[in-house]
Amino acid sequence: MPAKVLNTEFGHSAPPEGPHTITTHIQGWDNIMRLREGDKAVLARVTSIYPRFAPWNKARELPMKIREKLALPPTHSALAFVNPDIFATARLHAFSPHRGEKKLSAGDLGFRVVDIHGVRLYVVTFPLDKYAGIIGVWKDPGTGVSTRLAEYLLPHVDTLEEVPFDGSAGGEEVPLPPPPPPTWLPECEAHGKLRERIAGLLHRAALQPEAVKVQPDDVYLYPSGMASIYRACDMIGRWRRGPIVALGSIFHSTWHLFNDSVDGFRHFGACDASGNALEELEVYLRDEAKEGRKTTFVFLEFPSNPILVSADLKRLRQLADTYDFLLVVDDTVGSFCNIDVLPVADIVMTSTTKSFSGYADVMGGSLVLNPVSPHYAPIKAIFGTHFRNEYFAGDAEKLLSNSADFLARSAILNRNARTLADFFHARSGAADPSSAITRVLYPTLSDTLANYEAAMRRPTPEFPAPGHGCLLSVEFETKDCARAFFDGLAVHHGPHLGAHVTLAVPFNEMLWGRDPEGAAYHAAYGVRAEQVRISVGLESEEELLGVVEEALERVRELKAAEGDGDGS
C-alpha cells in the first residue's frame, strides 16, 4: 500500500474543520513536546485545540471582548464561567502550595461579574505573566464557557453590564464575599432526550436487567467530562467530607483536581493482576477506620487511560460495602455500549465528549446516580437541591445529534482497535525477541482481561459483538524507538479519543515529561514515556494496518542503523 498523505495542516483540526472542532494536528514527537512547553512558534500555528487545554476560538474571543469592556489593561487576561463557585476554586488553585514557584498572591486575581444577553458570567482576571499559575482553573474543573455559548454571546457583548461586586475584598486567607446569584443556563428539549438516551443505554443489554433502576432524572449533564468529576466532588462533599482515593492510571486533569482537594488525596496505582493496589487500599481503609475516619469516595477509570488496566470491580464493591464509601466508576474508555458497571458503581461518570459524541466537535459529560446504591437517597437529595444546568443548549443539541449512531460507530471502533492490538502483539517481543515493541496495552492483552469481561454487556441484535473499546497503547524498548514510530505514523497527531478519525500521541511524555519525579512515580505502575497511545477512528482496517506497518518500518530502520537487528 502506498504511503498515506494527510492533508490536514499543522495546528488545524482533523476534518471537517469548523469553529467548534476539538482536535489539533501537531505533527511529530518534538513538536508535541514544544507544545507541552508552550513554545510560541508552535502555538502561533495552532488554530484548533482541545477546549479545556486553553480558551480557544470563540471561547478565547469572548473574554478578550469582556476585558476590553471592563477596561482591563492589556497586560491582563480573563477567564469566564457561568457558576460563581469558580471564584473560590480559582483562589484555592492559585494559592495552593502545589503551584510551587507559579503560585499567585491575592493581589494578582480579580473577580468581576457581568451580564450579557441574559446570561450572567463570573470573570476571573489575572496578569498574563501569571498565566501558568491560574490556567489550571480552566483545565481541571472543565466548566469554562464553551465555544458555542461564546458564539451565542459575542454578537451581544456590547450589551454587557457589570454587576456590582467587590472582587478585591479578602486576602489569601480571607474568603471573598458571596457573589451575586447566577442566572444559569436554560435547558432545551435536547437535554431531556440526552438523559433518556443515556438511561436507555444503561438498561440495554444489562448484566442484571432486573437490578437496573436508572431513570432519565438520575442522569445529570455537564459541559465536559472533567466538569462531571468536579461536580461529583462538590456533591459528594456535601454528603460527607473526607479524603478522595483514586486507583490506577487516571487522566492528568483528574489527578490535579483531586490533588488540590482540601480533604486529602490518596492514590494506589498498581491495579494489574501482579499489582498490590487493592491490598494497599484495604490496609489504608482499615487503618482509617481504626482512627474513626472514612474515605468519601474511591474513583477509577475502567479500563484505565492510557494503559488499559481493568481493576477488580467486584472486590472494590465489597470494600465499599465494608468501609462505607461511594464507588465512582469512569466508564469513558469502555463506554456505555460495551460494559455495564452499574452492578458495582454508586455513580457512573462518563466523558460524553469521547466516543458517545464521536465526531470531535462538542464537549460534554454525565453523572448517573445508581438507584440501587445504598447511598442513593441522600446523594439524590443533594443533587436535587444543588444541581443547576451549566450545559449550553447548542452543545446539548449537537451531542444529541452526534450520538444517534453511537452503536454503529462503536462496532467499528471496537473492530479497528482489536485489529491493531492483535497486529502489534504479533510483532512484539512476545513473538519475536528482536522486536522493539515490548508491550501492547489493550484489554484483551491485559492480565486483567477477566475483570473487563466480567463487566461486558450481553450481545444483542442491534449490537451483536460488545468489544473492548477504541483505545490502545504500544510500548517500545526505548524512547527513540517510540519517537521513530510516532514520527512515521501517518495519522493525526494530538490528544483526544473516540473520534471519527484515528489520533495518536505520546500521551505520557506529553503530560508527565516535564516532571521527572512525577514521571517516575507513574512509570512504576506502567505509565511509561516509551508508550504511544492510539485512538482508532472509523477508517478501514486495511488503511490502518498499512499506516502502522509503514511506521514500524521507521523503527526497523532506526534499529538497523544502530546495528540491533530489524526491530519489528
Segment 186-192 mean pLDDT: 98
**For cell 458564539, what's the residue?**
151
Q: Pairing relation of β-strands 110-116 and 297-301?
A: unpaired
Specify the pLDDT at position 425: 98
Question: Three cell numbers at 130?
Answer: 501569571
Mean residue pLDDT of the chain comes to: 95
Q: How does pLDDT run across 240-254, given as a tens digit for each residue?
A: 999 999 999 999 999
Examine the pLDDT at 3 and tell me if it is beyond 50.
Answer: no
Q: How does pLDDT run across 319-371, given as a tens digit for each residue?
A: 999 999 999 999 999 999 999 999 999 999 999 999 999 999 999 999 999 99
Amino acid identity of residue 36, one-letter, is R
Amino acid identity of residue 23, one-letter, is T
DSSP at 214:
-
Q: How does pLDDT run across 303-323, given as a tens digit for each residue?
A: 999 999 999 999 999 999 999
Q: Pairing relation of β-strands 219-222 and 244-247?
A: unpaired
Segment 45-74 mean pLDDT: 90
Contact 151, 360 (CB under 8 A): no
Examine the pLDDT at 181 and tell me if it is beyond 50.
Answer: yes
Nearest-Å Rg of the Cα atoms of the chain is: 23
Confidence class for position 4, pLDDT limits 50, 70, 90? low
Examine the pLDDT at 238 and tell me if it is beyond 50.
Answer: yes
**For cell 474543520, what's the residue?**
17
Segment 13-29 mean pLDDT: 96
Q: Which of 528, 548, 530 is nearest to 540 (CA)?
A: 548
Confidence class for position 456, pLDDT limits 50, 70, 90? very high
Sheet holding 76-81: strands in order across?
76-81, 119-127, 110-116, 161-163
Contact 562, 555 (CB under 8 A): no
Question: Three cell numbers at 363?
Answer: 464537549
Residue 194 contacts by C-beta under 8 Å, 6 or more apart in sequence? 219, 221, 366, 396, 399, 400, 403
Segment 34-47 mean pLDDT: 94
Segment 260-282 mean pLDDT: 96
Going from the C-alpha of 43 to that of each of 33, 60, 162, the distances in angstroms are 12, 14, 32
In angstroms, the CA 302 to CA 313 distance is 9
Q: How does pLDDT run across 131-149, given as a tens digit for each residue?
A: 999 999 999 999 999 999 9
Q: How does pLDDT run across 479-528, given as a tens digit for each residue?
A: 999 999 999 999 999 999 999 999 999 999 999 999 999 999 999 999 99
Sheet holding 492-493: strands in order across?
437-441, 471-476, 531-535, 503-505, 492-493
Specify the pLDDT at position 567: 46
User: In percent, how much of the chain has pLDDT > 70?
Assistant: 97
Going from the C-alpha of 530 to that of each of 76, 261, 504, 527, the distances in angstroms are 39, 31, 13, 9
Question: Three cell numbers at 426?
Answer: 504479533
pTM: 0.96
Confidence class for position 78, pLDDT limits 50, 70, 90? very high
